Amino acid sequence: MKRKRRVIQDDFPTGDLDVEALRRAFAELREKRLARERRAAAAGSVPGPRRIRKQETPDRAA
């Protein structure tokens, strides 16, 4: 199965944020999420991701 090469960091500016630190933080959260899902599966209920809901916020000029 062919996959398109992911966009790499060098392709565009990322401001002052430390992308590597962010990536590590997201990776930690991913491990926690997967662990939660494994525990839920073992307990017999698999939590699905929250469905995207329409945001009902006040209108503002574009």
Partner 1 sequence: MRPSTYGKNVFINCPFDRKHNPLFRAMVFAVHDCGFIARSALETVDGGEVRIRKIIQIMRESRYGVHDISRIELDRGTRLPRFNMPLELGMFLGAREFGVREQRLKSCLILDRERYRYQAFCSDIAGQDIRAHADDAAQAIFAVRDFLASQQSAALLPGGNKIARRYDAFRAELPALARRFHLSPSTLTFIELRTFVLAFLDANPW
Q: In angstroms, rounded to a whole number, what is the distance separating the alpha carbons of residues 38 and 30? A: 12
Based on the shown chain and the rule CB under 8 A, indicate whether residue 36 belongs to the binding site for partner 1: no
C-alpha dihedral sign at 15, 25, 31, 40: negative
**One-letter identity of residue 6:** R
Based on the shown chain and the rule CB under 8 A, indicate whether residue 38 belongs to the binding site for partner 1: no
**One-letter identity of residue 37:** E
Based on the shown chain and the rule CB under 8 A, indicate whether residue 24 belongs to the binding site for partner 1: yes
Q: In angstroms, rounded to a whole number, what is the distance separating the alpha carbons of residues 19 and 34? A: 22
Based on the shown chain and the rule CB under 8 A, indicate whether residue 33 belongs to the binding site for partner 1: yes
Based on the shown chain and the rule CB under 8 A, indicate whether residue 43 belongs to the binding site for partner 1: no
Residues that bind partner 1 (CB under 8 A): 1-7, 9, 11-15, 17, 19, 21-27, 29-30, 33, 49-52, 54-55, 57-62
